[in-house]
Structure 1
């Protein structure tokens, strides 16, 4: 299947990473079961600002979209951009753009922020046209849920508000794995996030996380558009939940066997009277 070569993507579009506080990062460094994970540590100061590292940002502009579809300009300083707390709950969108005239680059990340109820649906934010060419998660994970490895997710490609049909798409993970797809007649593409976390211990909880980027390129009216969606994903829970379910089923089976055995013994005893 044809696809966009990853090497063609500009650095701006492949490096928008949430900065974890140093203490949290050290806590999450040992991601093995029994140690607190970075994902859990990120609960620290949930209503505080969120800082992202941005590579090759010269000439780029950033905006934050709120759940009510108002937006504010953000400063890119020393290779980073910060989402300030807004005091409202739900997803916010960080949009970074750079316009070269004959080419335009866009990077979008949906970040959940905490606060009082926003009174708005996430669908309002994803439906809003935030850039000329954008990749929209369809849907975004619910609150307290996450993208997981070995899960299939849908993404919508939009160009000037309309479905972008037949566009090659690449999903690349922070572990260097990538998968390809092509948007269908509705502008949709379904991609399975690779199950590529190294050395998971089966049957034991593992909360490691990594980044992935979904990117695409298209040309319209002599302008080359490049866009990317960045997000975090975590190890699939099936690596440890399947073992737990196995023990639970085995336990239920043993209990059922004991009950049946006792009932059978009672019936047998009754027959001897």
Structure 2
């Protein structure tokens, strides 16, 4: 078991705890969950069908990671890994979606308390959607199930952006995901069913709180991509500009023809001689 611990304390682009997901071989019925920057011996998986016998599963870790098999109903899964050493508790969390039309509403899964300190999406992007750059996204910060006011939340992106946000009177923090893509970062493809083969990167949110002689660090990570709507707006704007220019061509031609016409000689009336 010691080997598994070391294997899943691997480092990544951030020092914050992460949960990475990848396809489990050729089958789409399984996903591999790999903890990073956290020493854990299992991954807890909560489905959007909590009342089901597989509503909560504890997935053991081996050298490859934890294996999450797709349930019959598919749907959303909240994934979490936990590490406790002395008076410090570290939690990594993420969401994975198995595409399935029969999936149930994941609201109960999100509102169910799973750890002391949590960062919960408000809401999470639904089917056929994802986090997009250059947009504001809301997250609830709660401790022991209650909203935390004035909690500092750190944002880090794989593209190098770092910023800090503060929760409001309802414990909600509004995070603006940056459009920090460039020629080098554009080449990365978002993995898993949530990415749908689109170009993107990863981000992580983290909060730290001391209470009762313990320090709690919780993190939530997900993928985000370029905002296609921004690009579409630019294309549409260029399209309307071109249409306007094309529409003006006939008018310009008519005006040019009118200006190029030779002047008619002035006609004078000739009086007949009596």
Normalised-by-shorter TM-score class? 0.7 to 0.9
Alpha-carbon shift at residue 138 of structure 1 (Å): 0.5
**Is 1:85 equivalent to 2:76 in the alignment?**
no
The TM-score, its normalising length taken from structure 2, stands at 0.73
Alpha-carbon shift at residue 139 of structure 1 (Å): 0.6
In the alignment, is the contact (CA less than 8 A) between 1:165 and 1:183 conserved in 2?
A: yes
The whole-number CA distance in structure 2 between the counterparts of 1:165 and 1:63 is 27
RMSD across aligned positions (CA):
3.1
Alpha-carbon shift at residue 164 of structure 1 (Å): 1.5
Instruction: Note closer, same or farther for the CA distance 1:201–1:63 as it changes in structure 2 (3 Å cut).
Output: closer
Bigger Rg, which one:
2
**Is 1:250 equivalent to 2:253 in the alignment?**
no
2:117 matched residue in structure 1: 133
Alpha-carbon shift at residue 115 of structure 1 (Å): 3.0
1:95 matched residue in structure 2: 80
In the alignment, is the contact (CA less than 8 A) between 1:170 and 1:179 conserved in 2?
A: yes
Alpha-carbon shift at residue 199 of structure 1 (Å): 2.6
1:51 to 32, 36, 40: 32
- The residue correspondences of 1:34-183 to structure 2 (distance < 5 A) are 47-69=28-50, 70-78=55-63, 80-118=65-103, 120-183=104-167
In the alignment, is the contact (CA less than 8 A) between 2:90 and 2:218 conserved in 1?
A: yes
2:220 to 229, 236, 239: 229
The more displaced of 120-129 and 132-141 is 120-129
The whole-number CA distance in structure 1 between the counterparts of 2:73 and 2:18 is 27
The whole-number CA distance in structure 1 between the counterparts of 2:212 and 2:237 is 57
1:270 matched residue in structure 2: none
- The residue correspondences of 1:6-25 to structure 2 (distance < 5 A) are 11=15, 13-19=16-22
In the alignment, is the contact (CA less than 8 A) between 2:99 and 2:127 conserved in 1?
A: no
1:76-113 alpha-carbon deviations (Å, 9 max, x no partner) = 11262232111223211111112235221111111111
In the alignment, is the contact (CA less than 8 A) between 1:156 and 1:163 conserved in 2?
A: yes
**Is 1:188 equivalent to 2:172 in the alignment?**
yes
SS at match of 2:125: coil
Instruction: Note closer, same or farther for the CA distance 1:187–1:201 as it changes in structure 2 (3 Å cut).
Output: closer
1:31 matched residue in structure 2: none
The whole-number CA distance in structure 2 between the counterparts of 1:231 and 1:211 is 6
Paired positions, count: 228
Q: Which stretches in structure 1 are left out of the alignment for 5+ residues? A: 1-9, 23-43, 262-273
Alpha-carbon shift at residue 190 of structure 1 (Å): 0.6
